[in-house]
Structure 1
Amino acid sequence: MIMGHPGSGNRCALVARFFTFSLLLCKTFLISALNFNSVNVDVDLFRVARTVDKRFLSVTIDASLMAEEKFMYLLGSPKLRTLAKALTPAFLRFGGTQQDFMKFIPPSEFYIPKSYSGDSRSHSGTACRKFELPPVLEEKLKRDWALQALFLRQEDVQRKYKQVKFSGHAVDLLYSFVNCSGLELIFGLNALLRTPDNVWESQNAELLLNYCERRQYIMSWELGNEPNSYEKKAAIRLTGSQLGEDFLHLRNILQKSALYNSSGLYGPDVSQPRDHRKDLLTGFLESGAKAIDACTWHHYYVNGRDASLDDFLDPKVLDMLAVKTDKVLKIVHSLSPGKKVWLGETSSAYGGGAAGLSDAFVAGFMWLDKLGLSAKLGLDVVMRQVLIGSGTYHLVDNNLDPLPDYWLSLLYKRLVGPEVLKIQVLPSSTNKQLLRVYLHCTNKESSSYRKGAVTLFALNLSKKQMVIKLPALISNSTVEVFVLQSAEAGIDGLRSRSVRMNGDVLKMVDERTLPPLQGVELPPVEHLNLPALSFAFYVLKQAASPVC
């Protein structure tokens, strides 16, 4: 269990769940006795292969939410704040295409209301209640947002972006959300404000920095979004060298600030490398690498406008992440050794996502594999596009209800620690490409797990059950199981916007309360049964890994 110990009143229910789920596993195994794939895995519990940032799984909000300032009030929803807080520790990146078409309009004079006096970093009290959204207004805004999202999607298809002005009040709403949810804000500045000589014009950014400093808003910064595409979006071509100089200029501005002199600066947020685009990242690092704290790039697997269900289950599509990551890491490590590399924006399908897929259960295969593979390859932070916002790749839908990838992210946060351990499917196994397995130390913040526990998570891309045979080293450990399956049966059920965990459909208890997410504990076993087209977390509680 990962949310405290149940009282006596819940014990009968938990016992019933244990036997029900155990019988379900046994029934599944017996029925599938002649219809399963068996694989052997090997593990190394004695060495940490890599350690990622404690905020490894982070999230984004697309700057298009600020295209009409009234929608920023959605960030005051108690439900949304509850969902966001459960994903901490995490960064929240506020940026995207729209950030490069936005201009800050400061108030005529700075005025700090009494509710903002003192430490603005407090997570409770007047500052958090000030922007809490009343239920009646929330319902109206959600209806309006559904229409706005359609408009924004059309704007992206046409690549015609209108210039947007935003006020200090919009920034207040954003900061209240991250502050009261416990997230760490990274704000994306407009890089398309440029002089006739194509040099970044920093005056507007300095007005925003000044405003945020007066408010004592603790935050980090980015400059520009996907500069590779500026020529298509704004008829402006930028070299990597010039981009590096722009970042150095921004770093100099930050260093002159009493509040932001040591704040984080991340970039250049380039799209995934293609042969004709690698020169931009190379030129940027050659001129501006010392300005940034981590190098950021973006990754999507497929085009959302023509992606298919099969794409989301194709091992070859999933493996492309490793190919792209290898290219980026080689460039960064050769030009700026030791520099952290982040996926600064990522999801399943570009172009706003694939309708009926990116917001469905099937998207979890891409998302969970990306988390496992990114940590294994050495990416330090992965920022999911988006927590809420336009498109169909969101974690929380337009009604502010959590989608399957949200529940997957929540389980990952609670069960998976930052220490990456080695695990591999042995070559002798059949259909091994259809099983993806990863191993981490169990999250040490989960106090119900003893020292040395490890979490194995796995994806079954096959239409048959997978039987994972464990090495003797860990087969004597009790196992806490969290199996995630679509709420609807069959291949078409993979398009469901609901998910079952150990047989129960996951949903919020009420607007401010998440379910307990209790696993089912099984006795020591030599094999783990993973149903067809599902994924799961297995906490091996007595693995006794000396590095965990």
Structure 2
Amino acid sequence: MKLVLLLLSVLSHRSDGVHITQRHRDSNGTWTGSGSLDADVAVDVDLSAVIRRVDPRFLSITIDASLAAEEKFLYLLGSPKIRTLARALTPAFLRFGGTRQDFMVFTPQRDHRPDSGVSAGASCEKLELPSWLEQRLKKEWTQQQVVLLREDRQRKYRRVKFTEDAVDLLHSFTNCSGMDLIFGLNALLRTADNAWNSSNARSLLQYCESRRYRMSWELGNEPNSYEKKAGIRVDGNQLGQDFTHLREILSESKFYHNAGLYGPDVGQPRDHRIDILEGFLQSGAEAIDACTWHHYYVNGRDTSLEDFLDPEVLDTLTLKTNEVLEKVKLVSPGKPVWLGETSSAYGGGAVGLSDTFVAGFMWLDKLGLGARLGLDVVMRQVFVGSGSYHLVDDNLDPLPDYWLSVLYKRLVGPEVLKMEALSNLGRSKRVRLYLHCSNTNSYRPGAVTLISMNLSKKAARISAPALVSSSTVDAFVLESEQPGEDGLYSRSVKLNGELLKMVDDKTLPELRGSRLPPAEHLQLPAYSLAFFVFTDARAAACRQHGAVR
């Protein structure tokens, strides 16, 4: 069944200087307000077949290895608040890795336990960080970030020792939160002939196996930058051999013989980086379960607000993704491709941008576009930790992108549907739309979710076809706490006019949609992000689980 969302006639519905109603929900539940219209948008959709199906853990998260630069900071993962926030993002992978994973050495020390009142091996119910220790660690973490930032700028990284405690805490956090842990191993431990020295990894694997810790593995982070950060150059072919060696070690283990192995976590295609990926695939493709690469749009040190709202910047993801997909398909057809680490801006993020409301446009567009292009998993850098691109701030309070991620998890299913958006000005650029089947944990089969964003300072109108417009719509509209461009810098967000914040450390607010009656079109306010769930769409593609077309 093909449904065509017909664009209402520009001549009959809009002329210069004419204003339309821009609906905002007030405290009484009434949609009010007005604003000038930027565009009418029509969408050509096909609800008869699924064009792609991503991993159920498509939206996943990372914890940067910098959090373990001093092992005590991993005890923050025992905070009741952080575990509550993590559980709301399941199902998901949690990747532990990053630049400092290649400077971390496992150093067993079984009798070492900090005097914290926390037992790393305790049950989920008992493992809870005391509030006094949480406050102390948060304060010390703020100071620690200054040290980490200096190391990043100077590219001088010290070797970090970690013990069983670090592994216990990471595993406990993911296990109690319902996530699947991916642990990044140090690839810069090399032999005299520049092959990977696996002895330290073997020691870690033996410990994890003795504790029956179910987890997956990676080896190294951004091998394209090894020379800059450590003076070591590893070509793609050697990297593939290193992964093959690790796969052989896992295969020898009764416990880990079927464990996931992902890599090579190379930076986005540029100069020799694609050469590293090509060489790696030739020698190591069979060793991995998914090919991982990293993507950031801009440099966090010299970007601007305009970059975060620029459709051309957002569209660069298509070129980079297609380049990686083509390389993988050529050597290993059918191999899943993941964004193993990604956010808005590299270099730790853009201060005052990557942790504010405006970052949501890059994040939501990456989720929508990435799924449509062919990525199976997208891992957000970072859940908690250093930098400005975190989902949870240094006080462990959720930032706008966290709430956006939770709504995505609750409302968007893994099935991607075919659609194309056109505006009265041609192909839609500042109104960006993606269509999925709805999450069946929240809605019955047949419902569809329209992922929507308006990068413009003016409201937009999305027309709806007769069949879909006969469906009731649940609207989840995210706007900044403040109106206009100033609000883009806000670290708070409103859902349908209500400010989002935790009820207490163990309770999230009820994320309610606004029930809209059937109508000819939807309103998308200026600078807004939205999910529109057509509860009665009865999409054939979403009522069956057949093959992807």
TM-score by length of 2: 0.91
Q: CA deviation at 1:489?
A: 1.9
Q: CA deviation at 1:471?
A: 2.3
CA distance in 2: counterparts of 1:99 and 1:280, whole angstroms: 19
Of 247, 267, 288 in structure 1, the residue corresponding to residue 243 of structure 2 is 247
Does the residue aligned with 1:296 lie in a helix, a strand or coil? strand
Say whether 1:101 aligns with 2:108: no
Partner residue, 1:453: 447
1:326 maps to amino acid: N
How many Å separate the matches in 2 of 1:207 and 1:109? 17
Q: How does 1:322-361 map to 2 (within 5 A)?
A: 322-361=318-357
Between Structure 1 and Structure 2, the one with more strand by share is 2
What is the rounded CA distance, in whole Å, between the counterparts of 1:71 and 1:428 in structure 2? Answer: 53
Deviation digits for residues 438-488 of structure 1, max 9, x if unmatched? 000000111xx2221000011101111000012223111110000000111
Which amino acid is 1:103 matched to?
Answer: V
Distance (Å, rounded) in 1 between the aligned partners of 2:300 and 2:541: 41
Partner SS state of residue 352, structure 2 = coil
Counterpart position of 2:20: none
Number of positions where the alignment pairs a residue of Structure 1 with one of Structure 2: 515
Whether contact under 8 Å (1:239, 1:283) holds in the other structure is yes
Identical columns (%): 66
Corresponding position: 1:512 with 2:506 = yes
Secondary structure, counterpart of 1:199 in structure 2: coil
**SS of the counterpart of 1:282?**
helix
The separation in 2 between residues aligned to 1:68 and 1:212, in whole angstroms, is 21
**1:225 and 1:276 mapped to 2: Cα distance?**
16
Q: Distance in 2 between matches of 1:19 and 1:227?
A: 52
1:406 to 398, 402, 406: 402
| 1:4 match | none
Q: For residues 126 and 267 of structure 2, what CA distance do their matches in structure 1 show?
A: 38
Give the match for residue 481 of structure 1.
Answer: 475
User: Could you tell me which of 380, 383, 387 is aligned with 1:384?
Assistant: 380
Instruction: Pick closer, same or farther for the CA change 1:469–1:404 going to 2, 3 Å.
Output: same
| Matched residue SS, 1:87 | coil
Following TM superposition, by how much is the alpha carbon of 1:38 offset from its aligned partner in structure 2, in angstroms? Answer: 1.0
CA 1:108/1:38 → structure 2, altered by over 3 Å: closer, same or farther?
A: closer
AA at the equivalent of 1:479? V
Q: Does the 8 A contact of 1:421 with 1:441 survive in 2?
A: yes
Letter in 2 for 1:104: F
1:63 correspondence with 2:65: yes
CA contact (8 A) 1:93 1:186 kept: yes
Tell whether the 8 Å contact from 2:27 to 2:497 is kept in structure 1 after alignment. Answer: no
In the TM superposition, residue 275 of structure 1 has moved relative to its aligned partner by 3.2
Once the two structures are superposed, residues 383-415 of structure 1 have per-residue CA deviations (whole angstroms, 9 ceiling, x without a partner) of 000000000000000000000000000000000
Distance across 2 between alignment mates of 1:116 and 1:130: 9
Residue 110 of structure 1 contacts residue 211 of structure 1 at CA under 8 Å; is this kept in 2? no
**In the alignment, what sits opposite 1:90?**
92
CA apart distance, 1:37: 1.6
What is the distance in 2 between the residues matched to 1:472 and 1:48?
A: 22
- Secondary structure of the structure 2 residue equivalent to 1:92: strand
Secondary structure, in 3 states, of the residue corresponding to 2:466? coil
Gaps (5+ residues) in structure 1? 1-16, 121-125
1:154 & 1:493 partners in 2: Cα distance?
31
| TM-score normalised according to structure 1 size | 0.91
The Cα shift of 1:492 comes to 1.7
1:221 paired residue among 217, 220, 225? 217
Distance 1:308 1:21, change over 3 A: farther
Give 1:149 shift. Answer: 1.5
| Cα distance in 1, alignment partners of residues 301 and 38 from structure 2 | 34
Q: Which residue identity is paired with 1:98?
A: R
* 8 Å Cα contact 1:38-1:430 kept in structure 2: no
* Deviations 1:162-205 (CA, angstroms, capped at 9, x unpaired): 11000001111111111111110000000000012101000000
Assess if the C-alpha contact under 8 Å between 1:21 and 1:503 holds in 2.
no
Is the contact between residue 41 and residue 471 of structure 1 (CA under 8 Å) also seen in structure 2? Answer: no
Residue in 2 aligned with 1:464?
458
Q: 1:477, 1:79 → 2: CA distance?
A: 38
Residue 35 of structure 1, CA deviation: 3.5
- Partner Cα separation in structure 2 for residue 188 and residue 207 of structure 1: 14
Residue 533 of structure 2 is aligned with which of 524, 536, 539? 539
